[in-house]
Amino acid sequence: MDKFIPYGRQWIDDADIEAVERVLRSGYLTQGPEIDKFEDSIKQSVGAKYCVAVSNATQALHMSVAALEIDDGSEGITTPVTFVASANCLITNGLVPVFADIDAQTYNISPNEIEKRITPKTKVIIPVDFAGQAVDIDAIKEIAEKRKLFIVEDAAHAIGSNYADGKPVGCCHKSDMTVFSFHPVKTITSGEGGAITTNNEVLYKKLLKLRTVGITKDKQELGQDPGPWYYEMQLLGGNNRMTDIQAALGRSQMSRLNSFKKRRREIVSMYNNAFHDKPGITVPYEENGVDSCFHLYVLQMDFDKIGKSRKQVMEELRQKGIGTQVHYIPVNSQPYYVGKYGEYSPKEYPVAESYYRKCLSIPLFPMMSDEEAEYVEKNIISVGDVYE
Ligand SMILES: Cc1ncc(COP(=O)(O)O)c(C=O)c1O
């Protein structure tokens, strides 16, 4: 194989390029008509009432927690096996992050573990649809309802996925807000980008303000109306806007979401067939009825059994032109977290720790050919002779 195969990458076609070119020729650069159209395409796809497209999912998570206007010092619960942004949004809003261990099969936050971490200070749960697999939203909603907690679902990995009940992730039938990411390795891309869906009009209006520095020009929202220049800053927000250029790319990509998903799932089937009976390898588990878009394909590899460290395996594969990655170093063990909240002992999250020791994400993206997938299979299998 002469081409390097990364663990994930975008697929840009001529239609995407034409969509971006049209915007560049249109006179709009930042927010213009493409934003509404992109938001409409997301609403339609996931079945939510409202959508706010923003600069990235990190900011979308921050804005979502900000929109809840939760008292400083309250607690929010999330999973340790995620990108740091899922927990950082609590800190940037004055909340204390609390981690609940994951389920050993799905690698998603365990509802039982959430229950154990709830205190009178808990106000919000941030479940993450890890690798594209929807969380057990029914169980999480039941917990949230009992304790009057908000749910901000981090679906950065999961546009195009369905819950076990068949409803699309992002429809917000059980969560207050759902966040998507459109970073290039994600299922669809807008370069950088994110979006928040909700069915709650009050939250929607706050999110619109939080996208633009907390400012509104909506006459119905203003305390007075002295003239056409007038606006009010009603919330403390940042500049979280997406550009029309990004929205045009995102909308063009949305039109291929189903085909991207189909191709991802085809490669997943190939991989599952190749690896399911290999000793020392555990293939991803998909919960009954859940229809994942598979942002990532994460293997659990018994590196002790192979007799090679993960570093050695990653280096060997890299030499063969195959990129791999670790998703994720448990957030509770990041130096910032340990320094600020020293009590997050890895021992408290044994399932996450055991997952972390063995996880390896291997290449999965829709542009991969069968030949490339087979090349990856062959090399993963031969990396430890023990599998032959
Ligand atoms: C689970 C999760 N949440 C949030 C984010 C942040 O997304 P973005 O890169 O769009 O800021 C990521 C990005 O990798 C992620 O994986």
- Does any domain span residue 5? no
- In this structure, the answer to whether residues 367 and 350 fall within a common structural domain is yes
Candidate of 83, 84, 102 to mutate for ligand 1, largest count of ligand atoms within 8 Å of Cβ: 83
- Does any domain span residue 3? no
pLDDT at site 388: 45
Candidate of 58, 63, 64, 84 to mutate for ligand 1, largest count of ligand atoms within 8 Å of Cβ: 58
From ligand 1's centre to the CA of 385, what distance in Å?
36
Report the sign of the C-alpha dihedral through residues 338, 341, 347, 351, in that order. negative
Spatial separation of the C-alpha atoms in residues 248 and 18, rounded to whole Å: 9
Nearest to 18 by CA among 26, 8, 30: 26
Last residue of a domain, one of 254, 278, 296: 254
Last residue of a domain, one of 234, 254, 274: 254
- Does any domain span residue 235? yes
From ligand 1's centre to the CA of 112, what distance in Å?
25
Any idea what DSSP says for residue 388? -
From ligand 1's centre to the CA of 378, what distance in Å?
31
Any idea what DSSP says for residue 387? G
Mean pLDDT by 10 residues, the chain (388 residues): 92 98 94 96 98 98 98 98 98 98 98 98 98 98 98 98 97 98 97 98 98 96 95 97 98 98 98 94 94 97 93 96 98 92 83 97 98 97 66
- In this structure, the answer to whether residues 240 and 367 fall within a common structural domain is no
- In this structure, the answer to whether residues 268 and 172 fall within a common structural domain is no
Query: Contact 125/149 with Cβ under 8 angstroms?
Result: yes
Query: Can you name the residues that pair with 196 across neighbouring β-strands?
Result: 52, 179
Spatial separation of the C-alpha atoms in residues 359 and 297, rounded to whole Å: 10
From ligand 1's centre to the CA of 186, what distance in Å?
9
| Residue whose structure tokens are 């154990």 | 116
Query: Contact 34/248 with Cβ under 8 angstroms?
Result: yes
Query: Can you name the residues that pair with 373 across neighbouring β-strands?
Result: none
Quote the pTM value: 0.97
Last residue of a domain, one of 254, 277, 302: 254
Which are the contacts of 105, defined by CB distance < 8 A and separation ≥ 6? 285, 287
| Residue whose structure tokens are 């594209």 | 132
Nearest to 38 by CA among 157, 190, 211, 179: 190
- In this structure, the answer to whether residues 318 and 244 fall within a common structural domain is no
- Does any domain span residue 38? yes
Any idea what DSSP says for residue 93? T
Which are the contacts of 186, defined by CB distance < 8 A and separation ≥ 6? 156, 157, 159, 180, 295
Spatial separation of the C-alpha atoms in residues 326 and 316, rounded to whole Å: 15
- Does any domain span residue 298? yes
Residue 146: CATH number of its domain? 3.40.640.10
Which ligand 1 atom is the nearest neighbour of the CA of 130? 1
| Residue whose structure tokens are 């997406």 | 242
- Neighbouring C-beta atoms of residue 226, cutoff 10 Å: 7
- In this structure, the answer to whether residues 172 and 296 fall within a common structural domain is no
pLDDT at site 384: 66
What total of structural domains would you count in the chain? 2
Which residues surround ligand 1 with Cβ inside 6 Å? 56-58, 82-83, 85-86, 128, 154, 156-157, 181, 183, 194
Residue 275: CATH number of its domain? 3.90.1150.10
- In this structure, the answer to whether residues 233 and 263 fall within a common structural domain is no
From ligand 1's centre to the CA of 153, what distance in Å?
12
- In this structure, the answer to whether residues 279 and 190 fall within a common structural domain is no
- Does any domain span residue 51? yes
Residue with CA at minimum distance from ligand 1 atom 13: 83
- In this structure, the answer to whether residues 234 and 369 fall within a common structural domain is no
| Residue whose structure tokens are 């706050």 | 206
From ligand 1's centre to the CA of 384, what distance in Å?
32
- In this structure, the answer to whether residues 267 and 241 fall within a common structural domain is no
Nearest to 101 by CA among 72, 75, 127: 127
Nearest to 99 by CA among 354, 327, 331: 331
For 68-86, give the secondary structure using H, E and C.
CCCCCCCEEEECCCCCCHH
Range of the domain at 342: 257-387
Residue with CA at minimum distance from ligand 1 atom 8: 57
- Does any domain span residue 112? yes
- The amino acid present at 325, given as its one-letter code, is Q
For the residues of 309-366, what is the DSSP string, one character each? -HHHHHHHHHHTTB--B-----GGGSHHHHHHSTT--GGG-HHHHHHHHHEEEE---T
- In this structure, the answer to whether residues 141 and 176 fall within a common structural domain is yes
pLDDT at site 385: 59
- In this structure, the answer to whether residues 250 and 277 fall within a common structural domain is no
Q: 190 is written with which tokens?
A: 């807008």
Candidate of 63, 82, 88, 183 to mutate for ligand 1, largest count of ligand atoms within 8 Å of Cβ: 183
From ligand 1's centre to the CA of 181, what distance in Å?
6
pLDDT at site 387: 46
- Does any domain span residue 4? no
- In this structure, the answer to whether residues 240 and 290 fall within a common structural domain is no
From ligand 1's centre to the CA of 90, what distance in Å?
14
Sheet holding 281-282, edge to edge: 281-282, 297-301, 359-362
> Strand, coil or helix: what is 102?
strand
Longest CA pairwise span in the chain (Å): 78
| Residue whose structure tokens are 């990235």 | 56
Query: Contact 351/103 with Cβ under 8 angstroms?
Result: yes
Spatial separation of the C-alpha atoms in residues 127 and 276, rounded to whole Å: 28
